[in-house]
């Protein structure tokens, strides 16, 4: 929960539990629940409840319930998709295509696969993070088995043309996995219309407790299991499922999908206000072009400013924003996404990812922009 007098603009890292999710979790605390894999009555009840959640997820995103695999998060879903599909198809080929601006859970999975004899093409982007579809097309060889490209970039909000990529992959008989961890609640999703073979979702981006993920896997897609143990999740992901978490996640997905129009209006209005106010700050560079972006994330950089001092000053004012992906914050390494976009080390370090949530208000944006302008101005005049 948010502290009093604080401004939280890091919802892409993790957003607050939805009220319906809070109510649901509170209602479960004193219930006696068994293991969905047990064959006795208590286990069968748990299994029925898990099935119901699986159906809810599937109907919300437009696929079949047998195509939903519950995991421990977006990271595991990405690892499972990359490792599982690549190893499952290794007799057909050993080449994978991804992009330099993907989430570390995709890039590190690719590195691991390279160490196991696969080859990986890392597509370059332009200075805003957009890939060139012609370069993607030209990178596909007879050895290519898998393309993994995200839908919404978690650091910039940039949207990749998922339908076009899926069409291109299908024509060349290559599987397409898409990391959609930042998509639910922001863009409409009907998986069956997209033509992807696998898609990743993460719970804490949409108001469910962290530690839950979903991998959509199109029926018939070959996948080699990556966790070894029991036969849970259609024998594709071993380990006892997080029943309360999965149900909470299913409820959050349903809620986000049902309210997408209204939420989109909320985000659009706030994002317009934020961008207008940011553009008045001297020395700011807003890292976007005129193409498509998710309405909840914007990335900007400040010339001639010490990035560390900027963060310390914002933190002292109880303002939470990110300097890139949450998992790379805290390390002094510049964001790999901004580096891939051509920003130099100093500018990357003086960059902010600002991300909005359902509870963000106009007042909060206003206060944030005023504080930011004041801090930037004083740092530009050499006052740390």
Determine whether 110 is an active site residue: no
Residues that contact ligand PLP, how many (by CB under 6 A): 15
Supply the minimum distance, in Å, between the C-beta of residue 280 and ligand PLP. 29
Residue 266 interacts with ligand PLP (CB under 6 A): yes or no: no
Of 73 and 357, nearer to ligand PLP (C-beta) is 73
Using CB under 6 A, pick the residue from 53, 75, 241, 351 that binds ligand PLP: 75
Of 202 and 287, nearer to ligand PLP (C-beta) is 202
Using CB under 6 A, pick the residue from 213, 307, 324, 334 that binds ligand PLP: 213
Using CB under 6 A, pick the residue from 202, 299, 301, 351 that binds ligand PLP: 202
For 281, phi then psi, to 5°, come to -85, 125
Using CB under 6 A, pick the residue from 74, 209, 245, 324 that binds ligand PLP: 74
Supply the minimum distance, in Å, between the C-beta of residue 200 and ligand PLP. 6
Residues 202, 346: Cα–Cα separation, whole Å: 31
Stretch touching ligand PLP by CB under 6 A, among 18-26, 68-76, 273-281, 333-341 = 68-76
Supply the minimum distance, in Å, between the C-beta of residue 236 and ligand PLP. 18
Supply the minimum distance, in Å, between the C-beta of residue 247 and ligand PLP. 17
Per-residue contact track with ligand PLP, 296 to 335, x per CB under 6 A?
Answer: -----------------------------xx---------
Contacts of 124 (CB under 8 A, 6+ apart): 100, 131, 135, 340
Query: Helices 260-278 and 243-258, interaxial angle, to 10°?
Result: 80
Of 53 and 71, nearer to ligand PLP (C-beta) is 71
Supply the minimum distance, in Å, between the C-beta of residue 314 and ligand PLP. 20
By beta carbon distance, the residue nearest ligand PLP is 74
Contact 225, 238 (CB under 8 A): yes
Per-residue contact track with ligand PLP, 115 to 134, x per CB under 6 A?
Answer: --------------------
Residues 110, 178, 327, 369: which is the catalytic one?
Answer: 327
Of 340 and 376, nearer to ligand PLP (C-beta) is 340
Residues tagged active-site: 327
Contact residues for ligand PLP, defined by CB under 6 A: 73-75, 78, 103, 105, 150, 154, 179, 181-182, 202, 213, 325-326
């Amino acid at each position: 929960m948010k502290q009093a007098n604080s401004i939280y603009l890091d919802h892409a890292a993790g957003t607050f539990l939805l009220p319906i999710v809070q109510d649901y979790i509170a209602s479960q605390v004193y219930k006696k629940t068994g293991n969905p894999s047990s064959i006795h009555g208590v286990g069968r009840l748990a299994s029925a409840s898990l099935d119901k959640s699986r159906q809810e997820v599937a109907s919300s995103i437009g696929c079949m319930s047998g195509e939903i695999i519950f995991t421990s998060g977006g990271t595991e879903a990405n690892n499972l998709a990359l490792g599982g599909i690549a190893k499952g198809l290794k007799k057909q080929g050993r080449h994978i295509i991804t992009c330099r601006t993907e989430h570390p859970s995709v890039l590190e999975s690719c590195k691991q696969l390279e160490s196991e004899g696969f080859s990986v093409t890392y597509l370059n982007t332009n200075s805003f993070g957009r890939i060139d579809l012609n370069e993607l097309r030209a990178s596909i060889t007879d050895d290519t088995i898998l393309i993994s490209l995200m839908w919404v970039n978690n650091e910039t909000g940039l949207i990749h043309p998922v339908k076009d990529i899926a069409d291109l992959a299908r024509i060349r008989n290559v599987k397409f996995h898409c990391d959609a961890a930042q998509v639910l609640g922001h863009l409409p999703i009907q998986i069956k219309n997209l033509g992807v073979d696998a898609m990743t979702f993460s719970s804490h981006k949409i108001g469910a407790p962290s530690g839950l993920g979903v991998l959509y896997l199109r029926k018939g897609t070959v996948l080699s299991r990556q966790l070894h143990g029991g036969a849970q999740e259609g024998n594709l992901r071993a380990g006892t499922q997080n029943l309360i978490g999965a149900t909470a996640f299913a409820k959050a997905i349903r809620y986000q999908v049902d309210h997408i129009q209204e939420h989109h209006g909320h985000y659009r209005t706030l994002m317009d206000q934020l961008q207008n106010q940011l553009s008045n700050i001297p020395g700011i560079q807003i890292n976007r072009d005129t193409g498509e972006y998710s309405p909840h994330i914007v990335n900007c950089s400040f010339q001639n400013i010490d990035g560390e001092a900027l963060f310390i000053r914002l933190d002292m004012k109880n303002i939470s924003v990110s300097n890139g992906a949450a998992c790379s914050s805290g390390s002094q390494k510049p964001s790999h996404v901004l580096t891939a976009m051509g920003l130099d080390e100093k500018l990357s370090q003086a960059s902010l990812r600002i991300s909005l949530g359902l509870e963000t208000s106009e007042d909060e944006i206003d206060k944030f922009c005023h504080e930011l302008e004041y801090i930037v101005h004083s740092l530009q005049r050499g006052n740390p």
